[in-house]
Each structure stands twice: as structure tokens, then as C-alpha cells.
Amino acid sequence: MRAIEINTKTDSHGRLKLNYPIHKRDQNVRVIILLDDNTEDEEKLWLNALSSNPVFDFLKEPEEDIYSINDGEPI
């Protein structure tokens, strides 16, 4: 399980305020956010973010392509 952490502020009375409407007024609520771990989805998100990040565009230049299929040894 994974928990969601939300950065927020307290008001002048020390009360926690979340900027998320739930359409409940003057009622007590209990908020617990737990998510199932799904590392496969997280890995896909990281790989997509890295592959589309312009910071790594220099790796697409021909000068950076220094290895071929014949380099190295098979595992």
C-alpha cells in the first residue's frame, strides 16, 4: 500500500485545510488515502517522462551513437 501525501496549510486557528471540494458541509470527515503499489505503472510513467524530456535530446544526435550491435559480448 502507498499513502498520498498532500502539502497544505493550517488556518489561523490551527485547523488543517485541504483545497478539495467534497460537497459536504458542517460534517465530520476522516480522510485516509492509500493506494495499491503498482510499480509497473510507475516505471512506465518514469520511462515516458524520460523519453520525452528535451534534456536528453542530445542523445539522438549521430555523434552520440558510438556503439553498434557488434560491440560487447552476448550474455
- Domain ranges in the chain are 1-7+29-66
| Cα-based torsion angle of the residue sequence 36, 40, 41, 42 in order, rounded to the nearest 10 degrees | 90
> How far is the CA of 4 from the CAs of 7, 26, 33, 36, in angstroms?
10, 25, 6, 11
**pLDDT-based confidence at residue 36 (cuts at 50, 70, 90):** low
d(CA 28, CA 54): 46
CA distance 42 to 2: 12
CA angle 35, 4, 56 (to 5 degrees): 95
Please give the average per-residue pLDDT across 33-37, as a whole number: 67
Q: What is the pLDDT of residues 48-73, one digit of tens each?
A: 888 888 888 888 888 888 888 888 88
